[in-house]
């Protein structure tokens, strides 16, 4: 089937308005937020239902046309971007936004894959429930993309990764069959846990079209504090102290370097959260189902930590506005780095106890590799996930700095492996980290992954050349 015939058949399935094939119309789908990856495609097709997705996939299976699934196009490793060949089609799920059901008594809701994470959160809140996944991109990322990458976010310490928040999925397989596993049961021991094959698979095994999601009681009280500490080791000491004293209430425990606060206050007209600067900071948030008593817990925790010289300073948000100000510092950390020039970014994890040593090693090694480069490591200390970003030296040539990407990767990932960590904590593998896998993944595990891929997608039509490296 030639290009014109393929376009004609796709228009029959979804309607002419929902097949984009002019370059100007497709451009926003062909590049990702950082412009690291740009591709070409035959078209962008935008189905409105699972039945339409299945019909598209059947057509592509018959014509051997490869498919790149795409949600909100917020991914950072290139998994949602087609290759430069122009042979693939992009299947955008952003029209599939229906709420299929919400059952507060069972604490579960079923939504379609194109619904934004923010809307999922709002629907849960309207039913007096919480869907705890929270990301900086939640206004534009989709729940299907979150599942496909097993997104993490700032509440993993309390609620787990996306994988832990899913009860079931509906998936269109590579041959167009629909696998409906939208369980709402807390107990269902009837064989293999198939949903977890597709969560984190980045669209390489099938296309997630809907999911049943776990809900939780909505917190009745929230307390947020911005805390100054002398070092990552002190931040870890504070985490352990907080876990021992108010562990069941900890929702978020983020570590932030002083340079990150400087970037945010310089470029985003934000206020410094504390009166005096500190080398490192912790953003701590407690939540409780009880309406009263949480402020006293937070106050007592911080006072005792100050007395024990674990922390140096702290401020508890006195209003919703101040809470937002604290969170803005954390959520703007990635964005503001672009105003400082080139940035080489890493999404890695190490055991929680190893975070201070890892950070010390990284900072010292980067300073030796590229003198005056500015490490800006931050992230989820509670689960060991650090966004180990390196900003170019002041006044340096951006292109020349970014040309050192592989050198910096070699250094950072080498230290990650030294501490028995992972080169991808929550962003996925995509294209960016695909060829690194043989160095860090057990070869037998890679063989099993390839076998699963071949069994479910023997013609390699589902997001080809993503995640799995070629042999």
Q: Where in the chain is the domain with CATH 3.30.70.2740?
A: 341-418
The CB density around residue 202, as the number of other CB atoms within 10 Å, is 26
Q: Which CATH class is domain 3-92?
A: alpha beta
Question: What torsion, rounded to 10 degrees, do the Cα atoms 204, 211, 183, 167 define?
Answer: 80
Compute the Cα dihedral for 93, 97, 101, 105 and give only its sign.
Answer: positive
Burial class, 248, CB count within 10 angstroms (exposed 0-12 / middle 13-18 / buried 19+): exposed
CATH number of 99-217: 3.30.465.10
pLDDT value at residue 1: 74
pLDDT value at residue 304: 98
The DSSP string of 7-61 is: HHHHHHHH-GGGEE-SHHHHGGGSB-TTSS-B---SEEE--SSHHHHHHHHHHHH
State the Cα–Cα distance between residues 95 and 209, nearest whole angstrom.
11
Low-confidence ranges of the chain (pLDDT < 70): none
pLDDT value at residue 10: 97
Q: Where in the chain is the domain with CATH 3.30.70.2190?
A: 221-334
Q: Where in the chain is the domain with CATH 3.30.43.10?
A: 3-92
- How is residue 73 written in tokens? 């196009």
State the Cα–Cα distance between residues 59 and 445, nearest whole angstrom.
32
Is 341-418 CATH 3.30.70.2740?
yes
pLDDT value at residue 137: 87
CB 151 within 8 A of CB 143: no
pLDDT value at residue 261: 97
Q: Which CATH number fits domain 221-334: 3.30.70.2190, 3.40.50.300, 1.10.150.120, 3.50.50.60?
A: 3.30.70.2190
């Amino acid at each position: 089937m030639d290009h014109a015939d393929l376009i004609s058949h796709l228009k029959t399935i979804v309607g002419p308005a929902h097949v984009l094939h002019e370059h100007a119309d497709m451009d926003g789908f062909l590049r990702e937020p950082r412009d690291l990856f740009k591709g070409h495609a035959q078209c962008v097709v935008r189905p409105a239902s699972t039945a339409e997705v299945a019909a598209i996939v059947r057509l592509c299976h018959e014509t051997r046309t490869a498919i790149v699934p795409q949600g909100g196009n917020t991914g950072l490793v290139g998994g949602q971007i087609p290759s430069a060949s122009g042979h693939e089609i992009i299947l955008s799920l952003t029209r599939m936004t229906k709420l299929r059901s919400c059952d507060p008594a069972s604490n579960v809701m079923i939504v379609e894959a194109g619904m934004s994470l923010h809307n999922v959160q709002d629907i849960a809140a309207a039913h007096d429930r919480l869907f705890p996944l929270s990301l900086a991109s939640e206004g534009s990322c989709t729940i299907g993309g979150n599942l496909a990458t097993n997104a993490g976010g700032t509440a993993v310490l309390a609620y787990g990764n996306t994988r832990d928040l899913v009860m079931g999925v509906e998936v269109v397989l590579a041959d167009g069959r629909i696998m409906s596993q939208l369980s709402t049961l807390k107990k269902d021991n009837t064989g293999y846990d198939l949903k977890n094959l597709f969560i984190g698979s980045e669209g390489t095994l099938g296309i997630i079209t809907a999911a049943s999601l776990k809900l939780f009681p909505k917190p009745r009280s929230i307390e947020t504090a911005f805390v100054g500490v002398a070092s990552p080791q002190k931040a870890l000491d504070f985490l352990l102290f907080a876990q021992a004293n108010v562990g069941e209430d900890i929702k978020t425990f983020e570590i932030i370097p002083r340079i990150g606060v400087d970037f945010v206050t310089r470029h985003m007209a934000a206020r410094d959260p504390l009166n005096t600067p500190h080398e490192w900071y912790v953003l701590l948030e407690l939540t409780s189902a009880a309406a009263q008593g949480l402020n006293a817990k937070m106050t007592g925790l911080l006072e005792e930590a100050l007395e024990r010289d674990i922390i140096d300073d702290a401020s508890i948000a006195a209003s919703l506005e101040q809470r937002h100000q604290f969170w803005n510092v954390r959520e703007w950390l990635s964005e503001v780095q672009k105003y400082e020039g080139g940035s080489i970014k890493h999404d890695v994890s190490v055991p929680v106890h190893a975070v201070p040593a890892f950070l010390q090693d990284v900072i010292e090694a980067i300073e030796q590799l590229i003198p005056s480069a500015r490490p800006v490591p931050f992230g989820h200390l509670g689960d060991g996930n650090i966004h180990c970003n390196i900003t170019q030296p002041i006044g340096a040539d951006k292109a020349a700095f970014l040309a050192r990407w592989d050198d910096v990767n070699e250094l950072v990932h080498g230290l990650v492996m030294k501490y028995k960590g992972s080169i991808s904590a929550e962003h996925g593998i995509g294209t960016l980290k695909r060829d690194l896998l043989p160095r860090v993944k057990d070869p037998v595990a890679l063989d099993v992954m390839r076998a699963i891929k071949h069994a479910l997608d023997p013609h390699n039509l589902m997001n080809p050349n993503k995640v799995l490296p070629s042999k």
